[in-house]
A and B are shown apart, each in its own frame.
Chain A
Amino acid sequence: MEEPETYTGALERALHISGSEIGGECRVASERARRIRRFLPWAVLLPAALSGCGLIDAPQSMLNPAGPVAQDQLGLIDSSIWVMTLVFVVVAGALLVILLRFRWRGQTELPPQWEGSTRLELLWTIVPFILLALLAVGTVRDSFVLAAPEGKNVLKVNVVGHQYWWSFSYPGTNIVTANELHIPVGQKVELVLTSADVIHAFWIPRLGGKTALVPGRTNIMWIEADQPGTYKGQCAEFCGTGHADMRLLVVAEPPAKFAQWEQQMEHPVVQPTSALAQQGEKYFASEQCSSCHTIGGTSFVGVVGPNLTNLAQRQMIAGNLLPNDAQDLAAWLKDPQAVKPGSLMPNLHLSPDKIKALVAFLQSLKTPAPSGSV
């Protein structure tokens, strides 16, 4: 991103000057770029211009909305940026003029002793008031629009925050899962939020702003994804040592694929085929893993830790901190606190053999897609 055109394209994206869709790689829009360069004060926009691509492309960027909630919020952010830039330019311009024109140059006579002007003071009472009133309209409207999802076709998911992981359950089904939230594309999803311990906050910037999970209280927010994809986020209310590692993943899938996932979660099949994995299943019980973890399709029903049903189908482990592969699973089982400081999963001091068997077992936890599925 060295050429000025690209900077400008980035700038245009950062500030949403064009009405075109956002996201993806930066394009060169030289025609529009020239127009923008003529009209916009570079001093203010240069930092934004320099950063445009990085800002938009970041996986958790709120400037790259992927659903109506985040889109609404971005609209408000955009309009306020414009109003505020205007105010800044006026103040900075005035300071510049003062620096250039109204310096003391050794005069002995005093400047005009001006004590006030009702007209001017009314001007800068009323003009900001009008600017704010413009922003207030969208603020109030969006507050109500975003408060609760409208319509009948709303998928409800119960979310419970834990130090330092997320539990998701789908009312009306027996589906309980952890850390990876599956939702269908194009459908409003109502999240019913509460906490098992301290205050957390659910935040997927590309899908919408955050709402806190407060113990003893139920909060509601809704999200909707326009496109299939994986959306990242993380806990946004300080919740203890592991706060930074309490991450979130939303997997938005086309409705048919989501239905298939639901099917697999409703009827999980646990069939460890290798001898090693079968050994691991035994260790899961004998080493007390099962006193905290549930695995659908088995007799393990612990409820303290995350539900591990179909664990092998998830992308990440340890509160979405590590990729779900054999090596990281083994490191996690060996010493959870070394991987994720503050983790409440106890270090069971497992022998390497047992870890190997447990990893084999955990990697076998996937339910085959039903026949005739997409």
Chain B
Amino acid sequence: MATHSERVWHGGGQVVVTGDEEPRGLWSWLTTVDHKRIGQMYMGAGLFFFLLAGIEAFLMRLQLAQPDAHVVSAALFNQLFTMHGVTMVFLAGMPLLIGFINLVVPIQIGARDVAFPRLNALSLWLFIGGGLMLYTSWFFGGAPDAGWFNYVPISAGEFSPGPGVDFYDIGLQISGIGTLMTGINFLTTIINLRAPGMSWLRLPMFVWATFVTSLLIVFAFPPLTVNLFLQTFDRLFGAHFFTVSAGGSPLLWANLFWVFGHPEVYILIMPAFGIISEVVPVMSRRPLFGYTTMVLSVMAIGFLSFMVWVHHMFDLGYGPWVNSIFALSSMLIAVPTGVKIFNWLTTMWGGQVRMNTAMHWVFGFLITFVVGGMSGVMLALAPADLQFNNSYFVVAHFHYVLIGGTLFAIFAGMYYWFPKYTGRFLNERLGKWQFWLVFIGFNVTFFPMHFLGLMGMPRRIYTYAPHLGLTLWNSISTDGVYILTAGMIIGAINVLWSYGHGELAAADPWDGRTLEWAIPSPPPAYNFEYIPLVRGLDAFWVEKRYGNGRMLPAPEEHHGPPGTIHMPSPTAMPLFLALSIIVAGYGLILHSLVLDIIGFGFVAVGIYRSMFTVDHGYFVRPHHIEGVRADG
């Protein structure tokens, strides 16, 4: 479109673009600051890393199917479980959730984008860059192999001399900076960009979940950042923060890690709760039961999540007082979590539940998450945990909460929101096949791990002796993986096929309650023709029930020049900055002064340019003022 070339990238001019056609092509994606495109790229990259983590898991299960097997070596197995854990937590779980947050939250609060669109793009590129960088470690002498929590001294230079752990430190640092900025961005967005009338107690639950998640990110990531810095100094510059013989402490790492690590698992589950809280009321045709209690619950869970980190370390010898206190605080988290589960149940109880694929995933979520929650309470009982800790019981537990919890909720969200953002439904028949295969495969794979833990199988062992009685359940567990994989493949086919060929979706296919259903599918770049006026909880539902079925425009002062929409300009700067940081990171890991100078030099230039460049954005004048797409 010719008018695009008229955009002024910096300086004082403002140019009106007379159309609302979106730019196409690779470059438009690399330079986009549109939260919906960024969200889609988060999802795409997250699914890519999820595939890699799945391959790693597959190899591990092949190795463990039989005792004394030799599918992979001990050294490779250690790299596989480390990369699997790191990938699932940092490169698949969080990005998929942040993808939903990007896609949904600005629209649900009635905003046109996030508070800092360029920062948002930088977050994305730092995550993708850091993740890819971590994976290049396979080409530089081996991946990190000290486990995802990377305890010292096993990860110290003395015991792990290769560059693998350096890739862990630098790669996670870079993608972690991206996550931290996402947290700041969404806090600011939710506080400042809510549409008129969108008071705190009218926020959709997914927005509340995002708000608390962002708070957790802002408070939990700094300990990780510090920890990674300390270890970078230890490993690269000969410092001794963690070296016992020089007065350092390995438990410093363990504590800083879990001060981050426990809130991190709530960062992974909180948005999942938010997704369930969106899908359940819509598919049951009634409001969320106990909205205020649900809000208080997520806040309580977020608060308590900072008070429980020692439950990962009951066996490190902190004594009965410390263990008792942290056992009690950990058990306490079950109360607000239980309230949420029962409120979801009550929302459905007496409702009219549509059992489509999204709801299948919600039911799968509730069943498996409750199992995971129960084993979680069992792990909180400190003396019993001395048996469970580091056994397969723990492996079973966190897969029940992270796969059965987080991932099932992500799938629920995918079937729920896919039509909104692509304009097409995911196929329901394939979806149900995917659900049943994944649900059954998941339980066949992971339920036996409870038994293996009770039978005394420690986690992170590449093999086990034949006489320990572990063979049967290990082989059943591996059989489950085949079923699980079949389901995942069907899911992938469904997404790829439906993206281009799925049934067309209208703007409001589910009879939705929140603002995203009030705009076309897929939404235009500017989301709303006019900023909506919010007149109640479930803003769109209120208008459908009590109004004329359309959002009213907000008062005049909330709008730009009549008939135009002010938008932030695309920019390549975030990508440039992220690449520069990656180059500097390689410089550190490879001990290359040249790369350091180039990388950090470009970072300085990029930051300087960003600071002194004023982006006045551009204006869009929409062609049509319809709430629904013509073909919808």
Knowing A112-B350, A144-B320 are in contact, say whether A198-B286 is a contact too (CB < 8 A): no
A58 in contact with B317 (CB, 8 Å): no
Knowing A143-B320, A144-B320 are in contact, say whether A341-B339 is a contact too (CB < 8 A): no
Mark each residue of chain A from 72 to 105: 1 if its CB lies under 8 Å from any CB of chain B, else 0.
Answer: 1110110011011001100110110111001111
A139 in contact with B387 (CB, 8 Å): no
Knowing A80-B377, A139-B383, A209-B386 are in contact, say whether A128-B338 is a contact too (CB < 8 A): yes
B317: contacting residue among A99, A212, A233, CB under 8 A: A212
- Indicate the size class of the contact surface on chain A: 35 or more
Chain B residue, CB-CB nearest to A103: B353
Mark each residue of chain B from 377 to 402: 1 if its CB lies under 8 Å from any CB of chain A, else 0.
Answer: 11011111111111100000000000
A216 in contact with B454 (CB, 8 Å): no
Chain A residue, CB-CB nearest to B390: A236
19 contacting pairs across A/B (C-beta < 8 A): A58-B455, A63-B455, A76-B381, A77-B378, A87-B370, A87-B374, A92-B370, A99-B353, A117-B290, A128-B334, A143-B327, A197-B159, A198-B153, A198-B154, A209-B389, A215-B244, A234-B458, A236-B315, A243-B460
B159 in contact with A55 (CB, 8 Å): no
Q: Which residues 234-262 of A sit at the B interface, judged by CB distance below 8 A? A: 234-245, 247
What is the minimal beta-carbon distance from B365 to any residue of chain A, in angstroms?
A: 11
Complex: A234 Cα to B293 Cα, angstroms:
46
Knowing A98-B349, A112-B286, A211-B317 are in contact, say whether A146-B291 is a contact too (CB < 8 A): no
- Mark the stretch among A130-138, A181-189, A289-297, A348-356 that contacts chain B: A130-138
Tell me if A272 is interfacial: C-beta within 8 Å of chain B.
no
Tell me if A203 is interfacial: C-beta within 8 Å of chain B.
yes
B352 in contact with A139 (CB, 8 Å): no
B315 in contact with A212 (CB, 8 Å): yes
What is the minimal beta-carbon distance from B322 to any residue of chain A, in angstroms?
A: 9
B454 in contact with A61 (CB, 8 Å): yes
- Mark the stretch among A20-28, A119-127, A280-288, A325-333 that contacts chain B: A119-127
Tell me if B332 is interfacial: C-beta within 8 Å of chain A.
yes
Complex: A45 Cα to B451 Cα, angstroms:
13
What is the minimal beta-carbon distance from A200 to any residue of chain B, in angstroms?
A: 10
B78 in contact with A54 (CB, 8 Å): no
Mark each residue of chain A from 161 to 185: 1 if its CB lies under 8 Å from any CB of chain B, else 0.
Answer: 0010000000000000000000000
Chain A neighbourhood of B388, CB < 8 A: 209
Question: Chain B interface (Cβ within 8 Å of chain A)?
Answer: 73-75, 78, 146-147, 151, 153-154, 159, 244, 249-251, 284-287, 289-293, 315-317, 319-320, 323-324, 327-328, 331-332, 334-335, 338-339, 341-343, 345-346, 348-355, 363, 366-367, 370-371, 374-375, 377-378, 380-391, 447, 451, 454-465, 467-470, 472-473
A62 in contact with B382 (CB, 8 Å): no
A233 in contact with B456 (CB, 8 Å): yes
What is the minimal beta-carbon distance from A191 to any residue of chain B, in angstroms?
A: 11
Knowing A73-B384, A209-B383 are in contact, say whether A198-B159 is a contact too (CB < 8 A): yes
Mark each residue of chain A from 196 to 213: 1 if its CB lies under 8 Å from any CB of chain B, else 0.
Answer: 011101010100111110
B151 in contact with A199 (CB, 8 Å): yes
Knowing A199-B153, A244-B74 are in contact, say whether A54-B473 is a contact too (CB < 8 A): yes
Knowing A132-B331, A199-B154, A216-B250 are in contact, say whether A47-B290 is a contact too (CB < 8 A): no
Chain A residue, CB-CB nearest to B245: A216
Chain A residue, CB-CB nearest to B351: A111
Among B73, B290, B317, B341, the one with the most A-chain Cβ atoms within 10 Å of its Cβ is: B317
Chain B neighbourhood of A239, CB < 8 A: 154
Chain A neighbourhood of B146, CB < 8 A: 238
Q: Which residues 258-281 of A sit at the B interface, judged by CB distance below 8 A? A: none
Chain B residue, CB-CB nearest to A124: B342
Knowing A103-B352, A139-B381 are in contact, say whether A201-B159 is a contact too (CB < 8 A): no
Among A63, A111, A235, A242, the one with the most B-chain Cβ atoms within 10 Å of its Cβ is: A111
Q: Besides A61-B454, A209-B389, A220-B317, 10 other CB < 8 A contacts?
A: A84-B375, A94-B345, A104-B354, A105-B352, A120-B346, A144-B320, A208-B386, A234-B458, A238-B78, A238-B459
Complex: A279 Cα to B132 Cα, angstroms:
58
A237 in contact with B455 (CB, 8 Å): no
What is the minimal beta-carbon distance from A374 to any residue of chain B, in angstroms?
A: 29
Tell me if A60 is interfacial: C-beta within 8 Å of chain B.
yes
A57: contacting residue among B285, B354, B469, CB under 8 A: B469
Chain B neighbourhood of A143, CB < 8 A: 320, 323-324, 327, 382-383
B251: contacting residue among A81, A140, A163, A217, CB under 8 A: A217
B153 in contact with A91 (CB, 8 Å): no
Q: Which residues 41-77 of A sit at the B interface, judged by CB distance below 8 A? A: 47, 51, 54-55, 57-63, 70, 72-74, 76-77
Across the A-B interface, the 4 shortest Cβ-Cβ residue pairs: A209-B386, A60-B456, A219-B317, A244-B461
Chain B neighbourhood of A61, CB < 8 A: 454-456, 469
Complex: A70 Cα to B331 Cα, angstroms:
22
B456 in contact with A114 (CB, 8 Å): no
Chain A residue, CB-CB nearest to B327: A139
Tell me if A113 is interfacial: C-beta within 8 Å of chain B.
yes
Chain B residue, CB-CB nearest to A106: B352
Knowing A62-B387, A73-B387, A232-B468 are in contact, say whether A241-B75 is a contact too (CB < 8 A): yes
Chain A residue, CB-CB nearest to B283: A104
Complex: A233 Cα to B458 Cα, angstroms:
9
Knowing A135-B377, A244-B462 are in contact, say whether A129-B335 is a contact too (CB < 8 A): yes
Tell me if A228 is interfacial: C-beta within 8 Å of chain B.
no
Chain B neighbourhood of A31, CB < 8 A: none
Chain B neighbourhood of A113, CB < 8 A: 286-287
Chain A neighbourhood of B465, CB < 8 A: 247
Knowing A62-B456, A216-B244, A232-B468 are in contact, say whether A98-B251 is a contact too (CB < 8 A): no
Chain B neighbourhood of A104, CB < 8 A: 285, 352-354
Chain A neighbourhood of B251, CB < 8 A: 214, 217
A55 in contact with B454 (CB, 8 Å): yes
A136 in contact with B315 (CB, 8 Å): no
Tell me if A107 is interfacial: C-beta within 8 Å of chain B.
yes
Complex: A135 Cα to B384 Cα, angstroms:
11
Complex: A217 Cα to B354 Cα, angstroms:
58
B324 in contact with A80 (CB, 8 Å): no
B366 in contact with A95 (CB, 8 Å): yes
Complex: A98 Cα to B464 Cα, angstroms:
44
Tell me if A116 is interfacial: C-beta within 8 Å of chain B.
yes
What is the minimal beta-carbon distance from B561 to any residue of chain A, in angstroms?
A: 41
A116 in contact with B286 (CB, 8 Å): no
Mark each residue of chain A from 339 to 374: 1 if its CB lies under 8 Å from any CB of chain B, else 0.
Answer: 001100000000000000000000000000000000
What is the minimal beta-carbon distance from B623 to any residue of chain A, in angstroms?
A: 35
What is the minimal beta-carbon distance from A63 to any residue of chain B, in angstroms?
A: 6
Tell me if A40 is interfacial: C-beta within 8 Å of chain B.
no
Complex: A244 Cα to B532 Cα, angstroms:
60
What is the minimal beta-carbon distance from B570 to any residue of chain A, in angstroms?
A: 43
B383 in contact with A142 (CB, 8 Å): yes
Complex: A99 Cα to B355 Cα, angstroms:
8
Chain B neighbourhood of A238, CB < 8 A: 78, 146-147, 151, 154, 390, 459-460
Complex: A145 Cα to B323 Cα, angstroms:
12
A205: contacting residue among B151, B456, B467, CB under 8 A: B456
Complex: A128 Cα to B244 Cα, angstroms:
43
A60 in contact with B159 (CB, 8 Å): no
Chain B residue, CB-CB nearest to A47: B447
Tell me if A115 is interfacial: C-beta within 8 Å of chain B.
yes
What is the minimal beta-carbon distance from B295 to any residue of chain A, in angstroms?
A: 12
Knowing A55-B451, A234-B458, A238-B146 are in contact, say whether A140-B74 is a contact too (CB < 8 A): no
B286 in contact with A95 (CB, 8 Å): no
Complex: A73 Cα to B151 Cα, angstroms:
27
What is the minimal beta-carbon distance from B412 to any residue of chain A, in angstroms?
A: 15
B287 in contact with A59 (CB, 8 Å): no
A242 in contact with B317 (CB, 8 Å): no
What is the minimal beta-carbon distance from B366 to any residue of chain A, in angstroms?
A: 6
What is the minimal beta-carbon distance from B480 to any residue of chain A, in angstroms?
A: 13
Complex: A211 Cα to B316 Cα, angstroms:
6
What is the minimal beta-carbon distance from A162 to any residue of chain B, in angstroms?
A: 12
B455 in contact with A54 (CB, 8 Å): yes
Among B293, B384, B464, the one with the most A-chain Cβ atoms within 10 Å of its Cβ is: B384
